[in-house]
Amino acid sequence: MSELKFPEVNRVMLSGRLTRDPEHRYASDGTRVTNFTMAFHRRYRGRDGKPAEQTGYITVMTYARLAEVCAQYLHRGNAVLVEGRLQMREWTATQGEKRQRLELRADLVHFLEKAPISADAGGETAEAGEDPPEEGELF
């Protein structure tokens, strides 16, 4: 009997809101990295028939140009739709214990709300000549 082969698929689409402002930094090779935590919800009816809700949180990692755009335009509370893949990150903590975390590595970030114009920028965007993303725009 032949062994069944399943395709290796790792695609995730998740919508939610940022729980805090994105954090940005540069990797050792100079690549821009921006990460943010996103809250997502699941609404359902419990066994008793009453509405219930579960909330989950996941760290979203973005790189290169996508990281620049997310760092510039996203803020706490913004609604986004993220498409990407799950990845496990492992590291050693300061006490020598091994830690790991499941993260979402974003390929696309879809802004679900129109970016507000900053009052201190006088109606200008952070980079001259570049408009903020419109509602529903993909990066």
Per the domain annotation, does 48 fall within a domain? Answer: no
Per the domain annotation, does 1 fall within a domain? Answer: no
Per the domain annotation, does 2 fall within a domain? Answer: no
Terminal alpha carbon distance of the chain: 46
Average model confidence (pLDDT) across the chain: 85
Q: Per the structure block, which two tokens stand in for 58?
A: 């996941």
Per the domain annotation, does 5 fall within a domain? Answer: no
Residue 90's domain is classified under what CATH number?
2.40.50.140
Task: Give residue 123's pLDDT.
Answer: 38
Per the domain annotation, does 47 fall within a domain? Answer: no
Task: Give residue 7's pLDDT.
Answer: 83
Per the domain annotation, does 78 fall within a domain? Answer: yes
The tens digit of pLDDT for each residue in 11-58 reads 999 999 999 999 999 999 999 999 999 999 999 999 999 999 999 999
Strand runs labelled E in 65-131? 79-92, 98-111
Q: How confident is the model at residue 129 (pLDDT cuts 50, 70, 90)?
A: very low
Domain that holds residue 38: 11-42+53-139
| 122 pLDDT above the threshold of 90 | no
Per the domain annotation, does 90 fall within a domain? Answer: yes
* Predicted TM-score of the model (pTM): 0.75
Residues in Cβ contact with 137 at an 8 Å cutoff, skipping those fewer than 6 apart: 110, 111
Task: Give residue 3's pLDDT.
Answer: 80
Give the count of domains, the chain. 1
